[in-house]
Amino acid sequence: MFHFILLLIGLGLAHAATTTQPDHRTPRAQTRASTCTPLAGGNGSIDDVPAIQSAIASCASGTIVIPTGTTYYINSAFSFAGCSGCAFQIEGTLKVASDTDYWGGRQAIFLMSGINGANIFSLTGSGVIDGNGQNAYDLFATDSTYKRPTLFYITNSKNVVIQNLRFKNAPNVFHSVTGGSTNIDYTDITLSAVSKSSNAPKNTDGWDIGTSTYVTITRAKVTNDDDCVAFKSGCNYATVTDITCVGSHGISVGSLGKTNTDTVQNVLVSDATMINSTKAAGIKLYPGGPNHGTAAVSNVTFQNVVVQNCDYAFQVQSCYGETASYCTSYPSTAQLSGLIAKGFSGTTSSKYAPTVANINCPAAGSCGLTMASMSVKPPSGSATYLCATTPDTLGVTCKSGASG
């Protein structure tokens, strides 16, 4: 009888956090509801975060459903704490409050910290996470000290799948993976940051992949105003396949070596279509000297990249963030090894024509870079590759004059 009473109490608590009767078909349902649908407040003045987090607590290993046609308002920081192998199914919309006073200085809007096992997904493809970043774009245009949060921040987590979702108008970076996270998988993802004013949606990187292992991005489309994907210090074993980037700063390793010894290794980017980007792909390295650190980049491959109206198809910058005179005095000491750029095709913009690549390797470091099957062309004439401190085995015909 005692156990029966406890069971009734447990089921009553689970039901109180949801609008649907918990499913009792699995053994786990004796202590946890297997499906929970939080009750939406119905308007932007009501913060729906407490209701959603209550549903996560009730369905920690079950499914939390955000139903089609329903908007939930995210007026406070959202944590996935309590999720233990949970499925978070989004068919409706999670809309972030535009309150710049509240969000200023916060690290993240959606935080996944210390989670082992989570599936964030939409079955229909209708699920949206709306960062509602317009107010942040406008404020940052007049106050560059304003600190904006990352939309979705994963740290110290593993075995996370995010799939078939749309993310829009992040106030800052869309996705960050760091803190030793491992086995993080993004599939069928659309990211779009579009300003309604003349103020650009700055710093809206699609992904910043930092200290982590085995991060994969498969079938993604990104429209933004900064790096499409950035491989940051500590990134190891990252794979990006079948991605389209529009209006970005390209797919980048870095920036690295600003103040520390930064490392990036074992990265594969394959089958990328780059449209209207400042560069399709490349590496950003700070110079040396008393103001900066250094970097080691190894085993990075960019392959099968289609270039459509990008200013450069490929770029190596070893004077990032400093003047040419500073870099002459304090050249980069970065060590680059096992870098491959191959199978680039398409046409660059007219901005630097006929130059299609600017390869400024570290003058006081090493540049283990090879290029092959590079058929990218300028809008007219023959392609030119500007080079500095490049190896004899580079694989393309160089012309002096690389910078940046």
**Would you place residue 25 in the very low, low, confident or very high pLDDT band (cuts 50, 70, 90)?**
very low
User: Among all residues, which ones are annotated catalytic?
Assistant: 249
Residues pairing with 346 in the sheet: 307
Q: Find all residues with CB under 8 Å of 232, minimum gap 6, and list them.
A: 178, 208, 209, 210, 211, 254, 256, 262, 264
pTM: 0.92
Q: Which pLDDT score is estimated for 4?
A: 36
Mean pLDDT across the stretch 191-196? 98
pLDDT exceeding 90 applies to what percent of the chain?
92
Whether 26 has a pLDDT exceeding 90, the answer reads: no
Residues pairing with 182 in the sheet: 158, 213
Q: Classify residue 241 as exposed, middle or buried by CB count within 10 Å of its CB (0-12, 13-18, 19+).
A: middle
Q: Find all residues with CB under 8 Å of 7, minimum gap 6, and list them.
A: 30
Whether 5 has a pLDDT exceeding 80, the answer reads: no
pLDDT digits (tens, 9 = 90+) for 306-329: 999 999 999 999 999 999 999 999
- Identify which of 303, 332, 338 has the alpha carbon closest to the alpha carbon of residue 403: 332
**CA quadruple 351, 141, 144, 251: dihedral sign:** negative
Number of other residues whose CB lies within 10 A of the CB of residue 104: 16
| Domain 71-400 CATH class label | mainly beta
In this structure, are residues 76 and 53 in contact, taking their beta carbons and an 8 Å threshold? no
**Would you place residue 54 in the very low, low, confident or very high pLDDT band (cuts 50, 70, 90)?**
very high
pLDDT exceeding 70 applies to what percent of the chain?
92
Q: What is the 3-state secondary structure (H, E, C) of the chain?
A: CHHHHHHHHHHHHHHHCCCCCCCCCCHHHHCCCCEECCCCCCCCCCCCHHHHHHHHHHCCCCEEEECCCCEEEECCCEECCCCCCEEEEECCEEEECCCHHHHCCCCEEEEEECCEEEEEECCCCCCEEECCCHHHHHHHHHCCCCCCCEEEEEECCEEEEEEEEEEECCCCCCEEEECCEEEEEEEEEEEECCCCCCCCCCCCCCEEECCEEEEEEEEEEEECCCCCEEECCCEEEEEEEEEEEECCCCEEEEEECCCCEEEEEEEEEEEEEEECCCEEEEEEECCCCCCCCEEEEEEEEEEEEEEEEECEEEEEECCCCCCHHHHHHCCCCCEEEEEEEEEEEEEECCCCCCEEEEEECCCCCEEEEEEECCCCECCCCCCEEEEECCCCCCCCCEEECCCC
Residue type at position 336: L
**Would you place residue 11 in the very low, low, confident or very high pLDDT band (cuts 50, 70, 90)?**
very low
**Would you place residue 270 in the very low, low, confident or very high pLDDT band (cuts 50, 70, 90)?**
very high
Give the integer Cα–Cα distance in Å for 339 and 143: 39
Judge if the upstream peptide bond of residue 318 is cis by omega within 30 degrees of 0. no
Whether 347 has a pLDDT exceeding 60, the answer reads: yes
pLDDT digits (tens, 9 = 90+) for 353-386: 999 999 999 999 999 999 999 999 999 999 999 9
**CA quadruple 119, 120, 125, 126: dihedral sign:** positive
Q: Which pLDDT score is estimated for 27?
A: 31
- Identify which of 216, 274, 207 has the alpha carbon closest to the alpha carbon of residue 241: 216
Give the integer Cα–Cα distance in Å for 78 and 108: 8
Length of the chain as a residue count: 404
In the chain, what are the domain boundaries?
Answer: 71-400
Q: HSE on the CB side for 34, CA within 13 Å?
A: 8
**Would you place residue 305 in the very low, low, confident or very high pLDDT band (cuts 50, 70, 90)?**
very high
pLDDT digits (tens, 9 = 90+) for 90-129: 999 999 999 999 999 999 999 999 999 999 999 999 999 9
Whether 58 has a pLDDT exceeding 80, the answer reads: yes
Q: Which pLDDT score is estimated for 33?
A: 59
**CA quadruple 392, 349, 226, 269: dihedral sign:** negative
In this structure, are residues 336 and 297 in contact, taking their beta carbons and an 8 Å threshold? yes
